[in-house]
Amino acid sequence: MTANEVEAALSADRADVGQHLLGVREDQWFERKSVKVAPKDLAPALIALANAEGGVIVVGLHGGKVEGTRSRREVLNAYRQAPIDFTAPPVRAEFSEVECVNEKGEEDTLLLIRVDPGERVHEAKNGDCFLRIGDESRKLNFTQRQELEFDKGQSQYDGFPVSGVTLSNLDSELISTYVRSTGAKADVQNVLAARSLLTRTGELTNACYLLFGKQPQDIFPQAHVRILRFLTAERGTGSRLNLEEGSDIRMEGPIPAIIQKANKTIENLVPMRRTLTEQGTFEGRPIVPRDAWLEGLVNAVIHRSYSLAGDHVRVEIYPNRIEIESPGRFPGLANPQKPMEISRFARNPRIARVCADLRIGQELGEGIKRIFDEMRRVGLTDPVYKQTAGSVRLTLTSAARLDPRIAARLPSGSQRVLDVMRAAGAPLGTGDIESALSLSRPATLTRLRALEKEGFLRWVGKSPQDPRAVWELRDH
């Protein structure tokens, strides 16, 4: 379920709103609390949501029952004071009451708490720090807290006001589609405010204009996707540039339109390969599964650093691979050599949440995992992430994974060596491979020599001490 189902539930009739909210699954943006919860025990949920993308807490629902809040009116003011009394710096939250009918059939109210995403890391008064991950408010250890501090330094940009832009500069049709998708009955301004797309003083944010502007590139020229297709596996340079004529295409417009147009264009440009199917017939299939590159594209557009004005998202299509490069590094202390261990964090929390509402990205922290699963499902080698000084590049190659019988004879991690070399698309020195794998030199050489023995690699050099010696892939 996505966050817009909460808005649809809140728009239901008074007699049904409680039951509808009980039917919504708790997730990244939504949590239910009993009216018996102590005010101080609201702090973890408030902090976790503020440290992530914000969200909604409803007090007065518990155990599948609509408790309401009128039985404990005396604590409502304490709940409203909880952000000031129990969080530091105080979490920004808006409180309101929603009419309902409780489990006894009596008229009652629920307390609705809308939490804004914070620009700084929030914590409890005792120093505990929490982050919303899926349906959990997870307590962070010191290293995770430090990572979040680094991330928050990069995550403010989508919440800054955009100068000189008003509602008249937004695409009214796209806005109407979004309002309908939320199921809310509120007017446009209130819907935007509920998603923190307006500042507290009513100004449109950078995220709002990037998502719904008629032509956001007039202020954000870097906010586009460039798609290129090359004729050979080597990119080439200058007069030897292997770019196919007419296959350098730029996608502009608001973010939802960019993703939609890029999706169609890439689908038309990805090379097809005749493959024997499970039904025993030959069919044309893309060299890389659509769900893998589409997830990579969506992640790149949603999570790129929009504050980096000199770069854009690039999708490069080769006969044997697809590369997707996104401006901005991985968050905080994340290790790109271990992408499956990267914790979930949205650099652009407002953009991420709206895209989830539009079902562009489910935003459950499964993006990277899904890419790996899709590649493995069709027997292809694992994705490779490479982080440069200012960007992250994802490489999806069409090479098959190692046969399990061969893999059993090789040292663990040998598949990763092949993944790195295929992603590089060129011979590499031992030091380059060692650095990419974050392994010691002896451990790297053990794997390289085992792969050489199996016929996957070839060492090319003039002598054992040749500083220019490299390893290259052999046709296999």
Q: What is the pLDDT, as a whole number, of residue 364?
A: 42
3-class state of residue 156 by DSSP: coil
Residue type, 43: A
Neighbours of 30 (CB within 10 A): 22
Cβ atoms within 10 A of the Cβ of 205, count?
23
- Characterize the bridge pairing of strands 61-62 and 123-124: unpaired
Q: Where do you find CATH 3.30.565.60 in the chain?
A: 216-401
User: Which two structure tokens, joined as six digits, stand for 10?
Assistant: 């809140």
CATH 3.30.950.30 domain position(s) in the chain: 4-148
pLDDT of 154: 53
| Alpha carbon 115 to its chain's center | 20
Measure Cα distances from 314 to 148, 205, 227, 268, 297 in Å.
27, 25, 6, 16, 9
**Measured distance CA(457)–CA(476) in Å, rounded:** 9
What distance in Å separates the CA atoms of residue 206 and residue 188, rounded to the nearest whole number? Answer: 17
- Segment holding 355, helix H or strand E: helix 349-357
The answer to whether 210 touches 354, Cβ cutoff 8 Å, is no
Of 85, 232, 78, 220, the residue nearest 162 (C-alpha): 220
DSSP assignment of 48-84, as one string?
HHHHTT-EEEEESEETTEE--SGGGGGGHHHHHHHHH
> 198: which DSSP letter?
B
Helix pair angle (255-269, 290-303), 10° resolution: 150
Q: Running DSSP on this structure, what letter comes out for residue 226?
A: E
User: What are the backbone angles phi and psi of residue 65, rounded to the nearest 5°?
Assistant: -125, 150
Asked if 384 contacts 395 with a C-beta cutoff of 8 angstroms, the reply is yes
Which of 440, 438, 418, 443 shows the shortest CA–CA distance to 428? 418
Q: Which two tokens stand for residue 145?
A: 């807290």
Element (H, E) at 473: strand 470-473
Q: How many residues does the chain have?
A: 476
Pick the CATH number of 4-148 from 3.30.230.70, 3.40.1500.10, 3.30.950.30, 3.40.190.10: 3.30.950.30
pLDDT at 1: 44
- List the Cα angle 112/201/362 in 5-degree steps: 50
CA distance 313 to 297: 9
The string of DSSP codes covering 410-441 is SPTTHHHHHHHHHHHTS-B-HHHHHHHHT--H
Of 419, 441, 426, the C-alpha closest to 375 is 419
Q: What is the dihedral of CA 46, 52, 54, 57, to 10 degrees?
A: -40
Task: Record the tokens describing residue 323, joined without a space.
Answer: 């590369």
For 200, half-sphere exposure in the C-beta direction (CA atoms, 13 angstrom radius) is: 7
List, as one string, the DSSP characters of 314-347. EEEEETTEEEEEEESPPSTT--TTSGGGPPP--S
Q: Rounded to an integer, what distance in angstroms lies between the CA atom of residue 461 and that of residue 347?
A: 44
Six-digit token string for 203: 């100004």
Q: Where in the chain is the domain with CATH 1.10.10.10?
A: 402-476
Give the pLDDT of the chain (476 residues) as one tens digit per residue. Answer: 455 688 889 989 999 999 999 999 998 889 999 999 999 999 999 999 999 889 999 999 999 999 999 999 999 999 999 999 999 999 999 999 999 999 999 999 999 999 998 888 999 999 999 999 888 999 998 878 877 876 676 556 888 899 899 999 999 999 998 988 877 777 888 889 988 899 988 999 999 999 999 999 999 999 999 999 999 988 877 767 889 988 999 999 999 999 999 999 999 999 998 766 666 676 778 999 999 999 999 999 998 989 887 889 999 999 999 999 999 877 654 555 666 666 556 778 899 889 988 888 654 445 788 899 999 888 898 898 888 878 899 999 998 888 888 888 999 889 889 888 887 778 999 998 988 888 899 999 999 999 999 999 999 999 888 889 999 988 65
pLDDT of residue 361: 64
The SS3 call for residue 303 is helix
- What dotted CATH number matches 402-476? 1.10.10.10
What whole-number distance in Å separates Cα of residue 262 and Cα of residue 251? 6
Is domain 216-401 annotated with CATH 2.40.50.140? no
Query: Are the C-beta atoms of residues 5 and 24 closer than 8 Å to each other?
Result: yes
Contact residues for 149 (Cβ-Cβ < 8 A; gap 6+): 121, 332
Residue 337 to residue 439: CA distance in whole angstroms: 10
Instruction: Tell me how crowded residue 75 is: count the other CB atoms within 10 A of its CB.
Output: 18
- The answer to whether 382 and 417 are in contact (CB under 8 A) is no
Which of left, alpha, beta for 126 (phi over 0: left; psi -120 to 50: alpha)? Answer: alpha
